[in-house]
Amino acid sequence: MDARTLRNAFGQFATGVTVVTCSTDGGEPHGATVNAFTAVSLEPALAQVTLGRSSRACEYLKGQPFTINVLAADQLDVAWHFAGRPADEPPRWADGPTAPLLEGTATTISCRPWRTYDGGDHLIVIGEVADVGIHDRDPLLFHGGTFRHLSPVETGVHWGGSLDCPHRGWFDATATFTPLTTAGLS
């Protein structure tokens, strides 16, 4: 299989953009931009990231806690910073429940080490989720080798075209309803 063709095929799957953060042996925060993130299990709560074997982050993650930082739409500079193109202004760090985390993200998923598996030229690192932070921000996306932003699908049909439209459906937007009571019901 031609590596470029395979990379192009994999690139047709749109993903979010994450920065996996951990501490170095000296206790300094370290991060790596990663788009290979997967939710694995709810019980136990597990999440997976896949990192190239040659990345420094692989060395620091061996048996260590980490945080998966889902980048927000306005954090393109952060994605590039941790992909090897340092930003003029360094990213803002915060102490996390298990490992350092980045400020301004869409979501943080703090993990304790669980398992690491061979993934060819990558390592598959699975963490047990210890804590999450959901920050109500749109995510940064990656598709076809390009960073992208979330936007609604244009259908050409305004919401008013639906019978469920609050302005012209079964009820108008000013309708009020009296809740049912359980008194007298058996």
Q: How many domains does the chain have?
A: 1
Could you list the residue range(s) of the whole structural domain that residue 26 is in? 3-149
The H or E element spanning position 68 is strand 66-70
**Residues 125, 61 contacting (CB under 8 angstroms):** yes
pLDDT for residue 186 is more than 70:
no
Q: What is the pLDDT of residues 127-184, one digit of tens each?
A: 999 999 999 999 999 888 888 887 776 766 655 555 555 555 555 555 565 666 555 5
- Report the CATH number at residue 110: 2.30.110.10
Q: Is 157 part of any domain? A: no
Backbone angles phi, psi at 99, to 5 degrees: -155, 165
pLDDT level of residue 124 (50, 70, 90 thresholds):
very high
In a domain, 32, yes or no: yes
Predicted structure pTM score: 0.78
78 in a domain, yes or no? yes
Give the model's pLDDT for residue 7.
80
Give domain status of residue 79, yes or no: yes
- Inside any domain, residue 67: yes
In the prediction, which pLDDT does 141 show? 92
Q: Kindly tell me if the per-residue pLDDT of 3 is higher than 60.
A: yes
Whether 155 maps to a domain, the answer reads no
**Closest to 37 (Cα-Cα) out of 74, 4, 71:** 71
Inside any domain, residue 162: no
Residue 75 lies inside a defined structural domain of this protein: yes
Strand 29-34 and strand 37-41: the pairing is: unpaired
More confident residue, 184 or 53: 53
